[in-house]
Amino acid sequence: MTRRILLLSVSAGAGHVRAAEALEATVAALAAEGHDVEVRHLDVMDYVPSSFRRIYADFYLRLITRHPQLWGMLYRITDDTRPDAVTERMRRTIERLHTRRLRTAIAAFAPDAIVCTHFLPAEMLARQKRKGRIPAPVWLQVTDFDLHRMWIIPGMAGYFAASPEIARRMHAVGLPADRVHTTGIPVMPAFAQTHDRRALAASLGIDPDQPTYLVMGGGAGVGALDELADALLATGEGFQLVVLAGRNTAMLERLRTLAATRHPGRLFPQGFTRHVEHLMACCDLAVTKPGGLTTSECLAMGLPMIVNAPIPGQEERNADYLLEQGAAWKAIDAVALAWRIGALRAEPDRLAAMAERARAIGRPHAARDVIATVLAHLDTA
């Protein structure tokens, strides 16, 4: 009998979707190996009215980009708000009224298990479970090294925590200990594979024997990456930069011009790629915002980080975790970033220790462990 697994994500930021894609790829690999499983991944935002999507997803992205401090304030306020507060009850009612099409899509697939990588569908399904309308067990995957109150949803079949501390926090707020699983944050199976640095570097034209640093601007290539790359490379010789511009084609062209005119053989611009693990395998350090998925990918590859410009709220707490664990440093601006890169170039043993800590806390098989837990539960139900 085929076991159907439904994955529900929300495209408010890329991380929730990428976590679901990692789980989807894992189930698809099991099916290819002959296991009797089927998977479907739905983005909740595809099943809500455009007005709701603009408020929920588009407004969130604009807020964190243009007014991050305001987002940080809202993050703290909602974290402190009681679930039975009038505002929270109103929010859940509005969400429920706008997700009827999603409930229809779920019923059409008739899943045996549901895994949510965002709290929105989990909240909606928790009410449906209480009313006996959803027979399938529902699981919730937390996608940051933090536990905001909105992720605390009773009635789930299980909860997947990013770290032992987050698991402990789940216990502390009353979620059943036997339902909490410390798996890490799901990353694509490719991040668990062994990569040939020399071969990948050769394919990109990079010297595999030179210290190489990866600068990531996120999926949209946000930020003056060309100015940052120029300033970093001007600090000295003996290292290379791989700069990921994402889908920002204008930035990519500026970086290519900079590479050709000012830093030939040292600057390697890259556009959007679905194989960022290949770039990571060629590098000794990543400069990145501390999103839950991106940092989990770095940890899975044993790639230490310098984190910068964290969004107040979840990314600040992600950064705290990485710093406490010794897998990252933090730079508050371009001057601090240049100094830290210089310091790590001068102390390769320190960089090696950071890489070791990254490998120690990385969970490259998180997606596999999540799916194995869900399937084991179905086998014993």
Q: What DSSP designation does 311 have?
A: P
Give the pLDDT means over successive 10-residue stretches in the chain (381 positions): 94 87 97 95 86 65 69 69 56 58 90 95 86 90 92 94 96 95 97 95 93 77 76 90 91 95 95 93 96 96 93 90 97 89 94 98 98 95 73
pLDDT for res 11: 84
- In angstroms, the Cα distances linking 57 to 22, 34, 146 are 21, 37, 20
Could you give the CA distance from residue 27 to residue 20 in angstroms, rounded to a whole number?
Answer: 11
The reply to whether the predicted model has a pTM over 0.95 is no
CA distances from 375 to 238, 291, 381 (A): 50, 28, 10
Burial of residue 325 (CB within 10 Å: 0-12, 13-18, 19+) is middle
Cα angle 319-321-323, degrees, rounded to a multiple of 5: 70
Torsion 166-171-172-173 (CA) sign: positive
